[in-house]
Amino acid sequence: MSDHHLLGRFVRRFLLEEVVGDRNLTVNTQRSYRDTIRVLLRYLAERHSADPAQLTAEQLTANVVREFLGHLARERGNSAATCNQRLAAIRSLFRFMAREVPELVDHSAQIQAIPLRRAAVPSMTYLEKPEVDAVLAVPDRRRTMGRRNHALLLFLYNTGARASEAAQLTVGALTLDPPPAVRFVGKGRKTRVCPLWPDTARLLRELLGPDAADGPADAPVFRSIRGQPLTRYGVYALVRRSVAGAAEKACPSLHGRRISPHTLRHTTATHLLRAGVDPNTIRAWLGHVSLETTNRYAEVDLETKARALEACAITVPDRTPTWRKDRDLMAFLTSL
């Protein structure tokens, strides 16, 4: 087999040139592609005694990929969604190889033909307003970390930001003078601007201090206790702690529920919808690619459904004969 069909050379160029350079995918997507290839090569080395340095593209057949996906599901316990994510990365790698080497077009087409697994759509959970208030009340605002935690939780609810977007937020992305707003660069490098409530802007201004405007624009807004930028795992941990505290102190309805920063994102969308905000505005607010994603919130919100049902309700006319309503007449007839 000729050297230029060695898989290693394609992998290196795919990750550095295609994923990072040409497509400029987000860091999380880059890591997902890298991890997929790492798990795949480890599987081939253990199950097929294949040396990754000598593995060729032709050896990675459609059947081998199917076996790998089965291994992920059965032995690693991966969900259908995770298996589909891994398959998408492998498909992308083979599309790149097909463009580079025409002889691999048919081989790549066989990989592309592997169907995605059917994955159950997870139920979309959200919090009611009293539950949000209970979570926001948990941080001790007399302490520095408590003020940071409260500001971060309110920021998540205000903007519907993803955990990674909140963790990576910089001072330069904020406009705290009226009208206050924040600029996000979300999935697909798409930029969106979200308005901030006056209370959110005030808390962020207090958190950053009076000299924040004169500091570097790339300074992180939310920092750890050691002064380092907060990670998305730190955001997840904060939300979990706050929900547990709210469940223990004031809101039993939160007991046993798995609430994440993405739940707060769903909550923002649902509450905006209830307030009568146009779905297109919510789509732009949250950075959804498709309006279909935003419309899912209308499907799960019972209050919105109830209002729609009430608006469509018809009035059934009273068909009771008039003479039956006259009690005096009925009594007179009965006495005869």
Mean pLDDT (the chain, rounded): 86
Q: Is the pLDDT of residue 232 over 50?
A: yes
Assigned domain for 124 exists: no
CA separation for the pair 134, 131 (Å, rounded): 5
Of 5, 107, 150, 288, which residue is the catalytic one?
Answer: 288
First to last CA, the chain: 112
Residues 76 and 217 in one domain: no
pTM above 0.85, yes or no: no
Among the listed residues 33, 43, 157, 297, the single catalytic one is 297
96/177 same-domain check = no
Q: Is residue 181 part of a domain?
A: yes
Q: Which amino acid is at 320?
A: T
Q: Which of 48, 192, 202, 262 is catalytic?
A: 262
State the residue range of the domain holding 55: 3-112
Q: With 60 as the cut, is the pLDDT of residue 325 above it?
A: no
Q: What CATH number has the domain bearing residue 200? A: 1.10.443.10
Do both 172 and 253 map to the same domain?
A: yes
pLDDT band at 314 (very low <50, low <70, confident <90, very high): low
Instruction: Quote the DSSP letter at residue 91.
Output: H
* Domains: count for the chain: 2
Q: 232 vs 222, 252, 294, CA distance in Å?
A: 11, 27, 23
pLDDT band at 291 (very low <50, low <70, confident <90, very high): low
CATH of the domain at 29: 1.10.150
Q: Which range has the worst mean pLDDT, 90-99, 113-122, 157-166, 277-286?
A: 113-122
Q: What is the pLDDT of residue 215?
A: 78
Active site residue 297: yes
- The per-residue pLDDT for range 237-249, each reduced to its tens digit, is 999 999 999 999 8
Instruction: Say yes or no: 71 and 173 in one domain.
Output: no
Q: Is 50 exceeded by the pLDDT of residue 309? A: no
End residue of a domain, out of 112, 147, 172: 112
Last residue of a domain, one of 69, 84, 112: 112
Q: For residue 331, is it within any domain?
A: no
Q: Which of 97-101, 121-125, 266-270 is predicted least confidently?
A: 121-125
Residues 96 and 217 in one domain: no
Residue 307 has pLDDT above 60, yes or no: no
3-state SS of 174-191 is EECCCCCEEEEECHHHCE
State mean pLDDT over 302-324: 54
Catalytic residue among 5, 86, 148, 162: 162
pLDDT of residue 81 exceeding 80, the answer is yes
pLDDT in tens, 147-172: 999 999 999 999 999 999 999 999 99
What span, in angstroms and rounded, lies between the C-alpha atoms of 57 and 5? 6
Looking at residues 69-79, what average pLDDT do you find? 93
Residues 154 and 182 in one domain: yes
The dihedral of CA 142, 210, 226, 137: what is its sign? positive
- Is 271 tagged catalytic? no
Known catalytic membership, residue 262: yes
pLDDT value of position 171 = 94
Does residue 205 form part of some domain? yes
Segment 266-295 mean pLDDT: 83
159 plus 95 within the same structural domain: no
Task: For the chain, give the percent of residues with pLDDT over 90.
Answer: 57
Task: State the catalytic residue, choosing from 5, 265, 266, 271.
Answer: 265
- pLDDT, residue 25, reads 81
Query: Could you say which of 187, 223, 240, 274 is catalytic?
Result: 187
My answer on whether 300 and 211 are in the same domain is: yes
